[in-house]
Chain A
Amino acid sequence: MATTIPTSAFIATPLRCSTGRSSAIWVQKAQFSASSSSLGVSLSLKRPSLRLVSVRCETNGAGMPVIPAEERWMYEESEINGPDIWNKTWYPKAADHVNTEKTWYIVDASDKILGRMASTIANYIRGKNLATYTPSVDMGAYVIVINAEKVAVSGQKRSQKLYRRHSGRPGGMKIETFDQLQKRIPERIVEHAVRGMLPKGRLGRTLFTHLKVYKGSEHPHQAQKPIPLPIRDKRIQFVKK
């Protein structure tokens, strides 16, 4: 029943496409719906201005429109040749660090040396493993740590390493050893270690929220499909002597 033709807009394009590098070619085609073929009649007779013609801007090899030499003075250099990526150091735009598109990593902390594991985790959270690293922008990934109560330390640290906190009032210092804290709140040990290795400041505090530590082996982030964290430290596995 369709004599109406849903067509895409046929815009008379200007000769010079002065948009950015991304829209290289403007191709405008009149599209005919499928039902028009059943009529068997070329519908171009009704509207002579609709023709199957594609209008393209003249482009050079870089995808930028060609500007004749006598008009080159009217344009800026970025309009002629595209943005200059070789002379200006790249800085990420908002679309380059969207939180929903970041990778998620997962680490099993059982029998891993605390500090060595925390160091790699902090590197990945900060984004220092990426070539696009920027210190002022959160380019890093999310890291999930499971089995936090099984994290290991070497030497006598299990009974000798002290975790201190102070309430602010005189005489308000509370001291706990490593194994006491591990019995009480095991996640805090890994969090304390990683927090000490992340930058301190506004950005560091948001980076810290990208660390997720859990006591058992279950975590609620299956939907993010975390991949195992690539650890290159050879001495991270705790060896019982």
Chain B
Amino acid sequence: MNKDKIFKLAKGFRGRAKNCIRIARERVEKALQYSYRDRRNKKRDMRSLWIERINAGTRLHGVNYGNFMHGLMKENIQLNRKVLSELAMHEPYSFKALVNVSRTTFPGNKAVPKKEGLSSIL
């Protein structure tokens, strides 16, 4: 690639990496490698974030993520984790209904949380 293309891709880099071709070429090559790798990593990271959010949302109702998903799979509810995490954030009552469906199918967690503090409001 010629120098202009390299410098165009090196915008925002730190120090000499944006101005000097020898350094910029190395950094741009590395940046392109990282972006290739991270296009694949982003899918993994996003799914992991959805799972963490669903976990937090279900634990508010006394069920952990594993038992919740097992119950959903048993009921053949095919909602994906992206949608489930958005439901947990924006539609709490619908999410609670889903948690109840999962709990009736698979009552893995026997202990119901003691209503203390904020969770009593939910």
Q: A interface vs B, CB < 8 Å?
A: 85-86, 89-90, 103, 105, 128-135, 227-232
Q: A86-B83, A131-B56, A135-B49 are in contact. Are A228 and B88 (CB under 8 A)?
A: no
Closest chain-A Cβ to B1's Cβ sits at a distance in Å of: 32
Given contacts A89-B50, A231-B116, 4 further A-B contacts (CB under 8 A): A90-B90, A131-B54, A230-B117, A230-B118
B interface secondary structure, majority? helix
Closest chain-A Cβ to B91's Cβ sits at a distance in Å of: 10
Closest chain-B Cβ to A225's Cβ sits at a distance in Å of: 12
Specify which of B88, B114, B117 is in contact with A131 (CB 8 Å cutoff): B88
How many chain B residues sit at the interface, stated as a range, is: 20 to 34
* Bound complex: CA A134 to CA B85 (Å): 12
B119 pairs with A230, CB closer than 8 A: yes
Closest chain-A Cβ to B30's Cβ sits at a distance in Å of: 22
Chain B residues in 8 Å Cβ range of A105: 117
* Bound complex: CA A133 to CA B119 (Å): 16
Chain B residues in 8 Å Cβ range of A135: 49, 52
A228 pairs with B117, CB closer than 8 A: yes
B90 pairs with A85, CB closer than 8 A: yes
Q: B interface vs A, CB < 8 Å?
A: 46, 49-50, 52-54, 56-57, 59-60, 82-83, 85-86, 88-90, 92, 95, 113-114, 116-119
Chain B residues in 8 Å Cβ range of A132: 53, 89
CB nearest to B57 among chain A residues: A131
Closest chain-B Cβ to A22's Cβ sits at a distance in Å of: 15
B60 pairs with A227, CB closer than 8 A: no
Specify which of A90, A130, A230 is in contact with B86 (CB 8 Å cutoff): A90
Specify which of A103, A128, A131, A232 is in contact with B85 (CB 8 Å cutoff): A131
Closest chain-B Cβ to A3's Cβ sits at a distance in Å of: 51
* Bound complex: CA A231 to CA B90 (Å): 25
* Bound complex: CA A228 to CA B117 (Å): 6
Q: A128-B56, A131-B56, A131-B57 are in contact. Are A89 and B49 (CB under 8 A)?
A: yes
16 A-B contacts (beta carbon < 8 Å) = A86-B86, A89-B82, A89-B86, A90-B90, A128-B52, A128-B56, A131-B56, A131-B88, A131-B95, A132-B53, A133-B52, A135-B52, A228-B117, A229-B117, A230-B117, A230-B118
